[in-house]
Amino acid sequence: MIDEQAEEKRRGSFWRELPILLGVAILVAVLVRAFVLQTFYIPSPSMEHTLNVWDRVLVNKLVYDFRDPRRGEIVVFKAPTKWQRGTEGEDFIKRIIGVAGDHVVCCDDKEHLMVNGVSLPEPYIYTDADGRQDPAADEDFDITVPANRLWVMGDHRSASGDSLEHYETSDKNIDEATVATDAVVGRAFTIFWPVSRAAWLSVPKEFEAIPDAAPAN
């Protein structure tokens, strides 16, 4: 009889504590999503074939609280007003090509971008089914990234509304063409869905050769 009473008390305690446990779990999930990790899906072909339409990526929202974004990283950011196409607060995902102070030029004699005087081969740029790779840029340009801003481009250059497109359509307004560093939501670091495409989104080794920008005079 005593054992039955104890068992009933344990069951009653469990059901009384369950709403608290569920509440804590929901709170933890909300906090993680708000401040640490968030999932995003890819709605456009602008990053093919690094990221395909409907791929889902995991984004680290905490990393840039401790350091600045770096060249070669794939980032999610709040689109500048001039970049938006009807959805306020729209998120974009692109690759960082240049950070503040970087001198980015198209192109060298091999049709590669140059960053701070060094050629940047880009094997990740979109290649079609016939093996034809997009050009690094569809027209020549020569820019220096302003302070606290980023020059970002899609890996599928011919299908990406990125810094180059907005540089061309804004009469070469570098502020409209670049993204504020504080607009970055976080770094996309892995594809987790579909499982067949699961992969880490590491920085391509080609960026290792790029030197830091020379200090301004």
pLDDT digits (tens, 9 = 90+) for 26-40: 544 544 454 458 899
Residue-wise pLDDT tens digits, 171-184 = 999 999 999 999 99
Rounded distance between C-alpha atoms, residue 152 and residue 53, angstroms: 19
pLDDT of residue 37: 84
pLDDT of residue 135: 97
94 is catalytic: yes
Residue-wise pLDDT tens digits, 96-151 = 999 999 999 999 999 999 999 999 999 999 999 999 999 999 999 999 999 999 99
Residue-wise pLDDT tens digits, 46-69 = 999 999 999 999 999 999 999 999
The residue-averaged pLDDT of 9-24 equals 56
pLDDT of residue 81: 86
170 is catalytic: no
Please say if the pLDDT value at position 4 is more than 80: no
When pLDDT is cut at 50, 70 and 90, the band that residue 85 belongs to is confident
Out of 78, 94, 160, 163, which one is annotated catalytic?
Answer: 94
Q: pLDDT higher for 9 or 58?
A: 58
pLDDT of residue 90: 83
pLDDT of residue 1: 44
Out of 46, 61, 78, 163, which one is annotated catalytic?
Answer: 46
